Structure 1
Amino acid sequence: MYRLISRRLDGGCYHLTTIWLFTFSDLKTIAAPQTIFGILNGFHAPIFEIATTSSITPGRMICTAFWTYINLLPFLIDNQRQPASVEEDRLNKPWRPMPSKRLAPQQAKTLMFLLYAVAFIASLRLGGLRQCISLMALGYWYNDRGGAANCFSRNFINACGFVCFASGALEVALGSILPVKPVLFKWLLVIGGVVFSTVQLQDMYDQAGDRACGRQTLPLLVGDGTSRWMTALPMLFWSFFGPWFWAAEASMWMLCTGTGLVIVSRTLTMRKVSDDKTTFKIWNAWMVFLYMLPIISHRRSN
């Protein structure tokens, strides 16, 4: 009996680890920042002209984190099970479930469909159903219809995905259908613009793997040096535009603009793979600072 329980516990831990490995690289990019966006902006929904009828409870926060994760997971499984992605991960991330053979391709496909069903049911119950369906469509385009092969469609899908995750997380945090209000719509457009024009920072350190699988990322399409300038200039613009958009106080100007300038400087002058990985981590922190801008603005106006 003890051995049976022990084997089942070991098996459960093995499968949970497999799930964790699918999402590990994207926790800092999607799961954590979008959950933070939903919860923090939910507390200050009136700044978006959204009336709230209930408070955001700890249970609602957990639901927000779960919604973000369960919608991200099947997309990542679909992405990482693709033959080109497996070959790329053998070079860059051999610890992922597919190159390390923790799952067979057919098992991954079955798990993906199962989790998409779970995501749909969860969104039906918790909120964010429109965003869930949109993410499924974007995932199909990205993973199965060549959307990831071209840098422009890749960035566009990433931008739409960020907007879907952000608005979906906010809807779940609020516990009601998210209305389309002008201020929120404009802010989501800004977030989409930021991602579309700067998310290729993640491609700077992945050039060897992208070249191996034939993916046309911006650094491979126009060259490393040119792509860095094409990323640094939008970063410079958004670092000033975000605080201006929300009429931020001096401390938030210093935080957002200062961090943005650090990213610009590192992008242009620090070009080792390890440097680019660190720069992208700073970019993820900078995105969270942007998400905080409306909150600080709302607190100051009260």
Structure 2
Amino acid sequence: MGVAANIAFHTRTLWLFAFSDLKTIVIPSTIFGVVNALAASKYRDSLQTIHYTEILRRSPLVLFWVLMHYLPFAINNQRTPLAITEDAINKPWRPLPSRRLSPSQAKVLMFSFYVFAQLCSVFITGGLRQGVGLIFLGTWYNNFGGADVNPLIRNAINALGYICFISGAMEIALGAPLPLSTTSVLAKWFGIISGIIMTTVHTQDMYDQEGDALRGRRTLPLVLGDGPARWITAVWMVVWGVLCPNFWHTTLPTRTIGMALALLVGLRTLAYRSVPSDKVTFLIWNIWVSFVYALPLLQS
């Protein structure tokens, strides 16, 4: 295999590790980082503000930072025997079930990216605290039962992970660490986003109940039942659909779009219950989350 072919092969391998969560983590986190850096002056906190052209110039760095920190998590998530067994049924194109590399090679790759990701945080300026947090959360989630034993713990780890990704992305966009404060507008916004993830992220578990049952995972729909889990999602989507635009005092058109997306997710969750339909609902949920991330810039 020539050099170019070898590079293309390994690049595709990394792409296959990350592909499933581009819409969930990588793209939305990048949107949050850039948009909220552009809206930094609206937080009324001790945030460093820089010219919008500099933020836009740093946007590729934001995407790069998010991707580099997501890759080791994804590799860790996909390298266990149970994960490989499940993926062989549901996602046979992934690197391990398709035998593009072995589990031992994946482990080496995971550790290499953990180190590389932290070096990125040092040299790009920002996201170091979040990177360390993601190592801890990812290890708990994938290696110590965080994703498997209790749906509340699973959702809580997801919520903390989301906050690490979006706050790290914002630091990269600004080129400086965010201030540590529990009373700032930014901290309250992170709290709201944590609540969103905690109460609705199991939308992603609705279409994968068969695979989760195979792995012995205790996700919300498997513990409470499919129906109750759907109603929990629907009710909370209405709550967040009202609360988030109100928090930022957005315009009526912005409130209308946000509420329409939230209602669409809630109604689809209740009305359309097939696996393909749940996948579409989860995609719309990610679009809504990305819209929510942009609310500070849409403040009236």
Q: Which band: TM-score by shorter chain?
A: over 0.9
Following superposition, the deviation at residue 53 of structure 1 comes to 4.6
Gaps of at least 5 residues in structure 1 are 1-5
Q: What is the TM-score when the length of structure 1 is the normalising length?
A: 0.94
2:49 to 48, 52, 56: 52
Deviations for 1:47-92, whole angstroms, at most 9, x for unmatched residues?
1222325552444111111110000000100110011211111121
2:113 is matched with 115
Q: What is the TM-score when the length of structure 2 is the normalising length?
A: 0.95
**C-alpha separation between the residues in 2 aligned to 1:8 and 1:96?**
23
**C-alpha separation between the residues in 1 aligned to 2:187 and 2:55?**
25
Residues 51 and 124 of structure 1, relative CA distance in 2, 3 Å threshold: closer
Residues 39 and 53 of structure 1, relative CA distance in 2, 3 Å threshold: closer
Q: Is the 8 A contact 2:59 2:173 kept in 1?
A: yes
Residues 54 and 248 of structure 1, relative CA distance in 2, 3 Å threshold: closer
AA partner of residue 74 (structure 1): P
**C-alpha separation between the residues in 2 aligned to 1:43 and 1:203?**
33
Q: Does 1:106 align with 2:104?
A: yes
2:23 is matched with 28
**C-alpha separation between the residues in 1 aligned to 2:214 and 2:39?**
46
Following superposition, the deviation at residue 230 of structure 1 comes to 1.5
1:195 to 171, 194, 197: 197
**C-alpha separation between the residues in 2 aligned to 1:147 and 1:195?**
16
Q: Does 1:162 align with 2:159?
A: no
Q: How does 1:165-176 map to 2 (within 5 A)?
A: 165-176=165-176
Deviations for 1:109-147, whole angstroms, at most 9, x for unmatched residues?
000000000001111122110000000100110011110
1:223 is matched with 225
2:147 is matched with 148
**C-alpha separation between the residues in 2 aligned to 1:231 and 1:52?**
36
Following superposition, the deviation at residue 180 of structure 1 comes to 3.0
SS in 2 for 1:251: helix
Q: How does 1:1-302 map to 2 (within 5 A)?
A: 7-48=2-43, 49=45, 50-53=47-50, 55=52, 56-126=54-124, 127-149=126-148, 150-181=150-181, 182-297=184-299, 300=300
AA partner of residue 244 (structure 1): N
**C-alpha separation between the residues in 2 aligned to 1:109 and 1:13?**
21
SS in 2 for 1:166: helix
Moved over 3 A (4+): none
**C-alpha separation between the residues in 2 aligned to 1:104 and 1:85?**
13
Following superposition, the deviation at residue 7 of structure 1 comes to 2.1
**C-alpha separation between the residues in 1 aligned to 2:180 and 2:39?**
16
AA partner of residue 111 (structure 2): F
SS in 1 for 2:295: helix
Aligned pair count reads 293
**C-alpha separation between the residues in 2 aligned to 1:178 and 1:140?**
25
**C-alpha separation between the residues in 1 aligned to 2:136 and 2:236?**
28
Gaps of at least 5 residues in structure 2 are none
SS in 2 for 1:199: helix
**C-alpha separation between the residues in 2 aligned to 1:54 and 1:261?**
36
